A and B are shown apart, each in its own frame.
Chain A
């Protein structure tokens, strides 16, 4: 298994896009930081920006959706799936090694964005606010940031498990990426309707899109009145949905004829 993860990492590290994406993330974060510092009137509160890792937290989702769909779909696209599968390894191992690689990649992104946020904070906003300042009632800036990262990580993986599944079904990056991105951003569009419908039909609160509100609920304690779920329920819900999507992926991948 370690060999397989090494091989997946080898491929990832030899793609130019891997480096381009990391650089892009840092550049975007820096640009938002500089704009907020120079034009605070238009760009709002630097604390809010810092908590979202200078918008990095949103970009990571996009980049991970692209990476997850490509790590599965590229093998079908390039015809390398045969070479991967006819070796001594089991099919399940091949798929799990890809998941592990993506898990490591997502952790790398969060660490990178976190470290860069700290740097930007020190360089651009050293005197503007302290990490211990209150951001939300009961939560300091750094605390809110951590909760945001944890919540985002769980919901991102809920989306990614769906993207990995779709890439597996459609064998195409385009389909998986579009549905993943639409799914992730659909929340903000339909959440109001969803909350209304949930008032009427209580069981709707268990739908996967509602789980995506986890990051907001972690920071703002009153949010559970909207989602109708306690925070632990949402954490478990996210994990269960992730596990279900992963399990379907696993079964499909094992049964596929190539």
Chain B
């Protein structure tokens, strides 16, 4: 069990009559950053809470590092740090006191100050939390998840309320942690941010896993386009088609790129035929586009 740190198998969960998780199975490789994405109410937080042993579930198994997790079996939680939904903060304690309170005895003061430093919270860490802004509370919540240097970190919407600088800092911290072998399971709506971080993607919709793949696979599966703007688009299309270039069916004038496509050849071909090129752009379909397509074609039916 050394390479899989988290394993979820056939997880089912009901809230009353409504089934919120249907046969959810996925696993998380040690040292990977995994993105858990899906529309609002798809069950992201529910999965995370189940993984943290906060929920009873109807059936299925969850193991962390080989140890089973349920509300009555919490031993594996020693290796886990988490931030779920919104950070839980006592208004009468300072940020530092929160870290002191929730960190393990084995976590030194230096370790606490290290995370404070990395999250750039020094200026207000000794102030009472009731004076904190939303972003400050969020940072404290993230710091609480990371302070014990857990093997598995679960972050639910960690970018909520963070300013662009804090966002960038968080990204650096997450990538550093992953390099050191920490595994992270992150959910976020901000797909452009998530895209910069994750190795693997788990997509959930209406309580079911609809897609699990590595980012590399996702990228290779998506179309890459060469978007052109020329003095005579109609003629250019004709010439390119005659030369076996595949044209995209979209609104824009674009060639679907493959391994053989060379921009220089395209430019040469068109200019030899007396067509001026005004602009050329490479366009990759990003995570957002891929994901929206995926959810649109999604075969999951509402029950």
Contacts and interface: CB of A to CB of B under 8 A. Distances in A.
A, B from the same assembly: yes
A88 B88 contact: no
B97 interface: yes
A7 B92 CA distance: 14
A14 B97 contact: yes
Contact of A11 (B55, B78, B90): B90
Interface in A61-93: 74-75, 78-83, 85-91
B87 interface: yes
Contacts of A39: none
Contacts of A42: none
A14 B105 contact: no
Contact of A87 (B71, B74, B88, B105): B74
Nearest to A74: B90
A88 B54 contact: no
Interface of A is mostly: helix
Given A78-B88, A86-B77, A87-B77, A11 B72 contact: no
Contacts, number: 71
A87 B80 CA distance: 8
Contacts of A14: 92-93, 97
Interface in A1-60: 3, 7, 10-11, 14-16
Interface string B57-92: 000000000000001101111101010111111111
Interface string A123-153: 0000000000000000000000000000000
B207 interface: no
B289 interface: no
Contacts of A88: 74-78
A80 B74 contact: no
A3 B88 contact: no
Contacts of A257: 49, 54-56
B36 interface: no
Contacts of B52: 82, 86
A139 B102 CA distance: 50
B93 A86 contact: no
Contacts of B54: 82, 85-86, 257-258
B87 A79 contact: yes
B56 A78 contact: no
Contacts of B49: 82, 257-258
B28 interface: no
B101 interface: yes
For the residues of B in contact with A, the DSSP-based class is loop
Contact of B101 (A11, A16, A89): A11
Contacts of A78: 88-91
B14 to A, nearest CB: 11
Name which of A7, A81, A82, A85 has the most chain B CB atoms within 10 A of its CB: A82
A255 B105 CA distance: 29
A14 B102 CA distance: 14
Contact of B86 (A75, A79, A85, A87): A79
B236 interface: no
B92 A254 contact: no
A11 B56 contact: no
Contacts of B87: 79
Nearest to A80: B88
B153 to A, nearest CB: 12
Nearest to A86: B52
B185 interface: no
B16 to A, nearest CB: 12
Nearest to B82: A86
A75 B88 CA distance: 8
B144 interface: yes
Nearest to B97: A14
A11 to B, nearest CB: 7
Contact of A79 (B78, B80, B88): B88
Contacts of A83: 88, 102, 144
B53 interface: yes
B192 to A, nearest CB: 28
Contacts of A16: 92
A255 B91 CA distance: 27
Interface in B164-211: none
18 contacts: A3-B105, A11-B90, A14-B93, A15-B92, A74-B90, A79-B87, A79-B89, A82-B54, A82-B85, A82-B88, A85-B54, A86-B52, A86-B74, A87-B77, A88-B77, A90-B72, A257-B54, A257-B56
A-B pairs, 3 with minimum CB distance: A80-B88, A79-B88, A86-B52
